[in-house]
Amino acid sequence: MNAAVKPESMGNAVFGQPDERELRDRMKKELPADTFKAQTWRVVWFLPLQLIIWGGIAAILLAGLPWYANLGLGLLVGHTIGAQALLAHEVLHGALGMSKRWQNFFGWLGFGPLIVPPEFWRKWHNVVHHGNTNTGDADPDSFGTLRRYKTDPKQKKFTKLAPGSGTWYSYLFLTYSFTFHAQLVLWFQARRRKQFKGFDRSKAIRQTFYCMAVWALLAMISGPLALFTVLIPFMVANALGQGYILTNHFLRPQTATNNPLDNSMSLRSNPVLDRLHFRFSHHVEHHFFPKMGHNMAPRVRKWLEENHGERYMSMPHGTALKLLYTTPRVYKSSTELVDPNHPERVFDLLPLQREFAASNR
């Protein structure tokens, strides 16, 4: 594991200090109490999302539309599947309340199309990722440290798939990588990592095959139209989610403490898209309060900007994606990224922190 980033003075703030519990306590005390109440009413959004998905697929299959209309519908269906997964993410954190049975039901609606069973997601994301955010090689959602690639040089080939590697096929990474990464975690990491101890991996594997069977059945029914009912929606849904997920932590340092102000990043998205995507852009806020409804996250953002603007990290969504594709993905040190295939490529994250945290003030 890399040495943890040492606290560093940044204006009036200290970057890397272990004050996450104090910050949570202050926000709970100073923000309105309903900020942290379950937002069960938001489950109604699944109804229009489901109508758009199944209505779009039915129109493609039955309406005899020209290819460009089917393309538009395929893009709409994919976008809606991706947005629905963002809402299901809140459900499985408990932000909408409900029993676990109902959470799993809506979790299946949201993550089933991406071939991720809800109980697997809950263990992988809620427990292992949130509990080890950007920590050495322990976070399953990180490309990890250079030590990993020196220990097993064959893994260097995998980094060529990733944004920032410079390969032509890395530009396709967003269109499949959520589902692809989920399978890597399920088949390999969940088998050998102690954090997954007690998890019913065999059940999750069976459920994964059920999800694949539904897509295969739809493809058989669709015939040539599967391009619009299966392939395009699947790629768009993956890309929508990964366009957020990969920017949430990949441009942040590794830290000694699990402090969202230091190891996570929020985005500034188009206001219309931000609402359509259930304010998933508010990711620092989410890591502070995973069980908080994202519709309340702007309150937390405002508090962080007013009280810790020198540390709070957010940048325009487009800027974050551009940086994602122009920087390496592996940690040489806690604050430096490196390309293990081209070790001369090193990127220092701290100037980025200074630039975009300062812009929030």
The whole-number pLDDT of residue 360 equals 64
Whether 13 shows a pLDDT value over 50: the answer reads no
Task: Report the distance separating Cα 237 and Cα 177, nearest Å.
Answer: 11
CA distances from 319 to 8, 111, 269 (A): 25, 28, 10
Position 18 confidence tier, pLDDT thresholds 50, 70, 90: confident
The whole-number pLDDT of residue 1 equals 40
* Total residues belonging to the chain: 361
The CB density around residue 164, as the number of other CB atoms within 10 Å, is 23
Helix axes 67-93 and 100-111, enclosed angle (nearest 10): 150
Task: Report the distance separating Cα 330 and Cα 159, nearest Å.
Answer: 8
Structure tokens of 331?
């940690």
CA distances from 12 to 31, 277, 285, 308 (A): 23, 34, 21, 9
Percentage of the chain exceeding pLDDT 90: 90
Computed over every residue of the chain, the mean pLDDT equals 94
Question: Where do runs of H (alpha helix) occur along 250-349?
Answer: 260-263, 271-276, 283-288, 297-308, 317-324
Annotate 111-140 with b (16+ C-beta within 10 A) or e (fewer): bbbbbbbbbbbbbbbbebbbebbbbbbbbb
Given a contact cutoff of 8 angstroms between Cβ atoms, the answer to whether 332 and 346 are in contact is yes
Measured in degrees and rounded to the nearest 5, phi and psi for residue 330 equal -105, 145
Whether 256 shows a pLDDT value over 90: the answer reads no
Q: Has this prediction a pTM greater than 0.95?
A: no
Position 8 confidence tier, pLDDT thresholds 50, 70, 90: low
pLDDT in tens, 112-140: 999 999 999 999 999 999 999 999 899 99
Whether 344 shows a pLDDT value over 60: the answer reads yes
Given a contact cutoff of 8 angstroms between Cβ atoms, the answer to whether 267 and 315 are in contact is yes
Percentage of the chain exceeding pLDDT 70: 94
Given a contact cutoff of 8 angstroms between Cβ atoms, the answer to whether 35 and 299 are in contact is yes
pLDDT in tens, 292-331: 999 999 999 999 999 999 899 999 999 999 999 999 999 9
Structure tokens of 63?
């309406």
